[in-house]
Amino acid sequence: MMLATLLLATATAAPVSDPKAVAIANQVMEALGGEAAWRETCFLRFDFAVDVDGKTVMTRSHWWDKWRGRYRVEGKTKEGEAYTVLMNINTKDGSAWQGGKPVEGEAKKRLLEKGYGAWVNDTYWLIMPYKLKDPGVVLKLDGEVNGKGRDKDTAWDKLALSFDKVGLTPKDRYWAYVNRTTHLVDRWEYILQDEDPKGPPSRFDWNNWQRYGKLMLSPEKVNAKDKEKIYFPNLVVLEAMPDAVFTSPAPAK
């Protein structure tokens, strides 16, 4: 019985991160301002935008009370109708409006799910380096990459990220290229769970690192090959926001 229990425990043990990869993640956090800076940051206001071949194809506006989980997102449906979601990302409860009118029942459920999915996706594009050591994230060191051409003097530690039963798409795989000099993430590559696992990963360069409040953030990610850009044209870290931002569908100030 004891042997069977031991074998079962071994078979179901959670994946463990590579200590070398964890050490690099620690360097990243320090370059970003440190864990204290992340903990002490309360409010983030940002727009998430997508350009393809020079044309803006999607935007969403976010207000996030990180300490309390209060969250507001505004966007448009595929049909071009405006929506607003006010919710708590910890409980996933909240209210929703579409076309200026409150929605209930299944329509409300769908918009709350849409709002939560927008928060998961859009914040990950913004703050992924702060989440390298989140519970359920498994880090492996996938070698060193040396630059070529104009990047010939640059070297990166390549971190492989996988996910142990966390997130909306736990089979996604990411690779973060950590600059060995600045310890910032210069690039990421990814293969999403619904894509061919053997196919080439998507690649975005993380540009224009700068300080917002106590945080270091990259407001622009560029995929030069596919002429795609993910960017945050309105990005601020605040010490306060009016309560009405999270309680009223009226235009946020």
Q: Give per-residue pLDDT as tens, 98-119.
A: 999 999 999 999 999 999 999 9
Residue 248 pLDDT class (50, 70, 90 cuts): very high
Is residue 131 a contact partner of residue 124, using CB atoms and an 8 Å limit?
Answer: yes
Give the tokens for residue 63: 């207000």
Report the length, in residues, of the chain: 253
**Rounded CA separation 227/124 (Å):** 21
- Domains of the chain: residue spans and CATH: 15-127+138-239 (2.50.20)
Q: Provide the pLDDT for residue 183.
A: 98
Q: What is the mean pLDDT of the chain?
A: 93
Q: Provide the pLDDT for residue 253.
A: 75
Q: What is the dihedral of CA 114, 118, 120, 123, to 10 degrees?
A: -170
If we measure between CA atoms, which residue out of 111, 122, 124, 47 comes closest to residue 82? 111
If we measure between CA atoms, which residue out of 41, 26, 24, 21 comes closest to residue 217? 41
| DSSP letter assigned to residue 163 | E
| DSSP letter assigned to residue 245 | H
pLDDT over 50 at 192, yes or no: yes
If we measure between CA atoms, which residue out of 164, 182, 212 comes closest to residue 24? 182
Q: Provide the pLDDT for residue 170.
A: 87
Flag the least confident range among 11-20, 158-167, 198-207. Answer: 11-20
pLDDT, average across residues 6-32: 83
pLDDT over 90 at 4, yes or no: no
What confidence tens digit (pLDDT) does each residue in 35-46 have? 999 999 999 999
Q: Provide the pLDDT for residue 121.
A: 97
- The pTM (predicted TM-score) of the whole model is 0.91
pLDDT, average across residues 57-84: 96
**Rounded CA separation 185/86 (Å):** 32
pLDDT, average across residues 120-142: 97
Is residue 158 a contact partner of residue 177, using CB atoms and an 8 Å limit?
Answer: yes
